[in-house]
Amino acid sequence: MTSTISNCEIGDLRLVDRLRRIFPDSPLRLGVDCLRLGDRSIPITNGILRFRTGDGYNASFARQWHKFAREQIDAVNGTSLTRDRFLRETEWRLEDLRGELVLEAGCGAGRFTTLLAESGAELVSFDYSTAVDVAAANLGEGSGAIFLQADILDMPFRAGAFDRVFCHGVLQHTPDPAAAFRALDRVLRPGGRISVDVYLKDGKIQPWKAKYLWRPLTTRIEPERLLAFLEWFIPKWLPLDTAIKRIPFFGRYLGAIVPCFNYFYTDLGRAERRRWAIMDTFDALAPAYDIPVTLDAVRGWFRAAGYRDFIVREGGNGVVGNGRKPLDP
Ligand SMILES: C[S@@+](CC[C@H](N)C(=O)[O-])C[C@H]1O[C@@H](n2cnc3c(N)ncnc32)[C@H](O)[C@@H]1O
């Protein structure tokens, strides 16, 4: 069994060695309930290094991922949606990750964490909120992953520590997506690979963008109350929503007036479709930040960081940016 913070022997040299590669501070000493980094003491609870506590502006995500802890895990829902999306969007081969030190930023409930850990990567995964507890529980003991609760905009890592950095589904939910990208680039080694995605701002009218009409209202509602409302409303609305969205052409526009993420076109069963509709409608309406970015702006992030080898394109979740950090910045 591989050691994680939660099941390690305090003298486990491989784990301590990995911690030394990640953190710049010294001396470094791993105790049962804290990690000493220089003169700082970082608490460890539930096997997770807490560089920050509480859920802060990500309270809605903490609620979302504790409630919908396993829905998006391929092995649970019987699909390969997460695996397919990962391979398509990153253009990475899972076998290339074996033995590499990989950082996952904003893991949420851990749909990608599971995949990354299974690849044999030496995985470090974090989230701003206590959603990280859900990801850690989903992986279970023996995964070898190190989990932290930390902020992308204030990461505790050594510059150039990681061979790869993966951050999907997250940047738009930070207060400053460009600064978050710069922070991720800082911890990637020269020659290392980064894969990010962010919601697309393209100036086009799209039915799913109706969420931006509702968000000024819904982001003011307590996440708990908004979720309770959606749990009551969505099951009642879903059959009508499906009928509207099946109307040729006009259906997608009429169906956008009332926000409802409806997976009627998938093979998901009826109960699953209901749960996913509640989950994703909440995911669209509740987060404090939802900042879409243009393709050109993301290209500008890569250029400003000195990348020459990168591709920025439209992907399933908006803009995808994949790049290899130059060896000679
Ligand atoms: C939509 S979820 C995506 C989770 C996961 N990457 C996935 O694709 O399933 C966004 C996650 O980003 C996290 N997040 C938002 N701002 C963050 C920040 N500044 N630092 C780290 N995580 C952050 C939230 O807590 C939330 O779990």
Question: For each of the chain's 329 residues, which pLDDT tens digit applies?
Answer: 445 666 555 456 788 889 999 999 888 999 889 999 999 999 999 999 999 999 999 999 999 999 999 999 999 888 899 999 999 999 999 999 999 999 999 999 999 999 999 999 999 999 999 999 999 999 988 788 999 999 999 999 999 999 999 999 999 999 999 999 999 999 999 999 999 999 999 988 777 788 999 999 999 999 999 999 999 999 999 999 999 989 998 888 888 888 899 988 887 888 989 999 999 999 999 999 999 999 999 999 999 999 999 999 999 999 999 999 999 86
Q: Which of 103, 123, 128, 139, when mutated, tests ligand 1's pocket best, judged by the most ligand atoms within 8 Å of its CB? A: 128
**How far is Cα of residue 256 from the mean position of the Cα atoms in its chain?**
26
- For residues 241 and 259, give the distance between their C-alpha atoms in angstroms, rounded to a whole number: 9
SS3 content of the chain, % helix, strand, coil (to 5): 40, 20, 40
Q: Which domains are seen in the chain, by residue range?
A: 5-200+293-324 (3.40.50.150), 207-285 (no CATH)
Pairing of strands 309-315, 188-198: unpaired
- Buried (b) or exposed (e) across 115-147, using 16+ Cβ within 10 A? bbbebebbbbbbbbbbbbbbbbbbbeeebbbbb
C-alpha distances out from residue 77 to 59, 81, 267, Å? 25, 9, 11
Backbone torsions φ then ψ of 229, nearest 5 degrees: -65, -45
For ligand 1, what atom is nearest to the CA of residue 174?
Answer: 16
Q: Whose CA is nearest to atom 1 of ligand 1?
A: 169
The tokens describing 189, both together, are 């080694």
pTM of the entire predicted model? 0.95
Q: Which two tokens stand for residue 10?
A: 């305090």
The DSSP bridge pattern shows strands 101-105 and 48-50 to be unpaired
| Interatomic CA distance for residues 26 and 224, integer angstroms | 42
| Atom 10 in ligand 1: residue holding the nearest Cα | 170
Q: How far is CA 79 from the centre of its chain?
A: 19
**DSSP 3-state of 41:** strand
C-alpha 5 chain-centroid distance: 21
